[in-house]
Structure 1
Amino acid sequence: MDITVTDLKILPMGKSDYVKPFRMEFMQNGKRRIWDCVKVHNSVSIMLYHKEKDAFLFVKQFRPAVWYSQENLGYKSDEQGFTYELCAGLMDKGLSEEQTIREEVLEEVGYEIDAIEKITMCYTAFGFGGGTQTMFYACIDESMRVNDGGGVAEEAIELVFIERAKMHEFAYDESKVKGFGFMYAHLWWQEKFGNLKDKK
């Protein structure tokens, strides 16, 4: 999939279904403090290993906030604003964490996964958000593919396979934008499976 982004504008934000800013006031060690926060949805993510390709499957998509940050840093590239991520989604549909991640995998990358393993739950954006993300792992193969993926509605998601042998190099390539979840999942997989010949 070739994703093209044009006509970018910075606009004032009105009411949002995704973020709700608020201010907290509290006493800390006898001193009154003010802290600006954002209420956000919790989320789920998943590390996907394709055993036939001996590769990990990630998603590439345009993230406006990353584009804005890079713009302020003077970063100019064809990759500006694009990120490489675990398949993930918001907990905004009233489904369980497991149901949500199964649905996201189907929509974003086109696989109907079987067994999944919970890795852990952590908190995100300590400085302003404090939401949670629960991370899972699944092994996939082509028998599980049911569509081409790419997301739903206005989503534009590109599937990216990174060979296991090249994963370490890719993980530390700073020209490819990745988040902490991506890095943690990679390290978790290495610790759990290491150099095992057959991955399950």
Structure 2
Amino acid sequence: MDTTIRDIKITELGESKYIRPFSIVFNQNGIRRKWDCIKAHDSVSILLYHKDKDAFLFVKQFRPSLWYHETGGDTSKIDENTGFSYEFCAGLCDKEGLEPEKVAIEEVLEETGYAVPSVNYITSSFTGLGFSANRQSVFYAIIDESMKKGQGGGVDDECIELVFIARKDIYEFLYDESKPKGAGALFGLLWFMSNVAPKL
């Protein structure tokens, strides 16, 4: 898979099927205030532990907003590492009537190629509290090679690379700031190592 980023440019946001910007005006402590917000879909993320490999499975992908943060929008700064994040398998809850658990199972198959019969709920939290406050439900599943049914990598034009991190190296990975990851992944891994790993 060629994940090379080319011909990058920054444009104004037009119509979007994923987010809707709006403002909220309110009174607080006698002061009239205005807050800019974004309506966004809730989401799921799934921590995957491969028991045969004794490793965690992450998806590595290009995130334009991460690239922008890392480069300040300098379009001359493009390389194989800038803008790439290490994440749990994840997806948006954008299908009407589909429960988060079902979304999680679908995402695992699409992104990683592993068919899990079920996922285990950990907790949910809110992301982007300053502008979107959308809920993310966090799950985990234990996988093995008997569950491998496809190549993964996402659907349509997604470019997702699968990366295994050995359990023995996970704390080093957690604190390695050269491999960008979200706070949810940090929490999920620490929770798993404290609550599930001792029973394996």
Q: TM-score range by the shorter chain?
A: over 0.9
Matches within 5 A, 1:112-131: 112-131=115-134
Q: CA deviation at 1:154?
A: 1.2
Report deviation, 1:4.
1.0
Q: Give the structure 1 partner of residue 102 of structure 2.
A: 99
Distance in 2 of aligned mates of 1:87 and 1:194: 19
1:37-48 maps to which residues of 2 (within 5 A)? 37-48=37-48
2:175 aligns to what? 172
Question: Do 2:4 and 2:80's aligned partners in 1 also have CA atoms closer than 8 Å?
Answer: no
How many pairs does the alignment contain? 197
State the one-letter code of the partner of 1:57: L
Tell me the equivalent position of 2:66: 66
Tell me which amino acid in the other structure corresponds to 2:28.
Q
Tell me which residue corresponds to 1:147: 150
**Alpha-carbon separation, structure 2, partners of 1:27 and 1:145:** 54
Aligned-pair distance for 1:193? Answer: 2.6
Give the partner amino acid of 2:103.
T
Say if 1:4 and 1:145 are closer, same or farther in 2 by CA, change over 3 A.
same
Q: For 2:178 and 2:79, locate their aligned partners in 1 and report how far apart those are by CA, in whole Å.
A: 9
* Structure 2, gaps ≥5 residues long: none
Distance 1:162 1:189 in 2: 14
Residue 12 of structure 1 corresponds to which residue in structure 2? Answer: 12
TM-score (norm 2): 0.94
1:79 to 55, 78, 81: 81
Partner amino acid, structure 2, of 1:176: K
Identical-residue share of aligned pairs (%):
52
Cα deviation per residue 1:2-53 (whole Å; 9 max; x = unaligned)? 4111100001111000110001100111111110000000000000000000
Task: In structure 1, give the amino acid aligned to 2:61.
Answer: Q
**Residue 33 of structure 1 aligns with which residue?**
33
Q: How far off its partner does 1:73 sit?
A: 8.5
Deviation, 1:81, is: 0.5
What RMSD in Å do the two structures reach over aligned CA positions? 1.5
Residues in 1 aligned to 2:100 and 2:137: alpha-carbon distance in whole angstroms: 7
Aligned partner of residue 177 in structure 2, secondary structure: coil
Counterpart for residue 156 of structure 1: 159
Structure 1 segments unaligned to the other structure (5+ residues): none
Q: Is the 8 A contact 2:125 2:135 kept in 1?
A: yes
Amino acid of the structure 1 residue aligned with 2:144: D
Structure 1 consecutive aligned stretches of length 4 or more whose deviation exceeds 6 Å: 73-76
CA deviation vs aligned residue, 1:71-112 (integer Å, no higher than 9, x gap): 118887531010000000000012110110100000000000
Distance 1:64 1:167 in 2: 26
Displacement of 1:171 after TM fit? 1.0
State the distance in 1 between where 2:112 and 2:71 align.
29
TM-score (norm 1): 0.94
